[in-house]
Chain A
């Protein structure tokens, strides 16, 4: 009667049983070949993600540390840069002063040299003029003497003779 009821309900025990067996077989197959590998893959993936997140956090921390260090270094570099610029400015001022002093000295030397040269030229010109004047005076005196040389000759010869007698 039960069989009939099941038959009327369209249930075949044999078929049902085979389907149950099939189901379990499929379940086993899926469990071993799909579910477990999938779970393993998911776990691995989760682990990797977790690791990635940890590493990212660590990287963030490192990055922050690096930022802090970088900022410090930048400040230090800026400070150094300012110091270098200041030192360079001081050096430049000293160098500028030295160059100015050198240029002034050179200019003074050149002026002195020019003065000396002018003085020398003046002296040379004066000597030339003096020499010419002396020659001119000599010529004039000579010409004057030539007009009446005897008197002058006599006087000078007499003077020479009187000096000779004193020797």
Chain B
């Protein structure tokens, strides 16, 4: 029987919440990967882990924020987000040179705010 990414993520988040620090990380990750392989869902692993991460953060009242930019954000630029990003929030920074300039913010894999030069050019050239 095939499981959806959300089901895997829910199960993973539940285990982390219940067992917490008692988990043997190496053994657990190996077992989890074996399970995915057996089910033929290994390619979904990254997506499942991200979803689980978001679920865990949400359960703890936090959020996962992905900041994508063409180059590494400077400390000054990061400070601008301080009002929005609270302690406990998971922040991931990704470098994507094709964005040219600006930043793309993805919150909990649900909301997206695209203030990149690439988007501006595309919307300009496509109209």
A→B interface (CB under 8 Å): 134, 137-138, 141-142, 145, 149-150, 152-154, 156-161, 163-165, 167
The 0/1 profile, CB within 8 Å of A marked 1, for residues 82-122 of chain B is 01100000000000000011110100000101011110010
Determine the distance from Cα of A77 to Cα of B121 in the docked complex, in whole angstroms: 88
Residues of chain B contacted by A150 (CB below 8 angstroms): 74
Determine the distance from Cα of A125 to Cα of B74 in the docked complex, in whole angstroms: 43
11 A-B contact pairs sorted by A residue (CB < 8 Å): A137-B121, A138-B118, A141-B117, A141-B121, A142-B100, A145-B101, A152-B117, A156-B117, A160-B102, A160-B115, A167-B111
Given A145-B100, A145-B101: A153 and B77 interface contact (C-beta under 8 Å): yes
Given A145-B100, A152-B102: A157 and B84 interface contact (C-beta under 8 Å): no
Determine the distance from Cα of A157 to Cα of B111 in the docked complex, in whole angstroms: 17
Residues of chain A contacted by B105 (CB below 8 angstroms): 160, 164
With both beta carbons as reference points, the residue of chain B lying nearest to A139 in the complex is identified as B100
Partner of B103, one of A137, A138, A145, A156: A156
Residues of chain B contacted by A138 (CB below 8 angstroms): 100, 118, 121
Query: Which label, helix, strand, loop or mixed, suits the secondary structure of the B interface?
Result: mixed
Residues of chain B contacted by A163 (CB below 8 angstroms): 113, 115
Name the distance in Å between A134's Cβ and chain B's nearest Cβ: 5
Given A149-B101, A160-B113: A154 and B121 interface contact (C-beta under 8 Å): no
**Is B1 located at the chain interface by the 8 A CB criterion?**
no
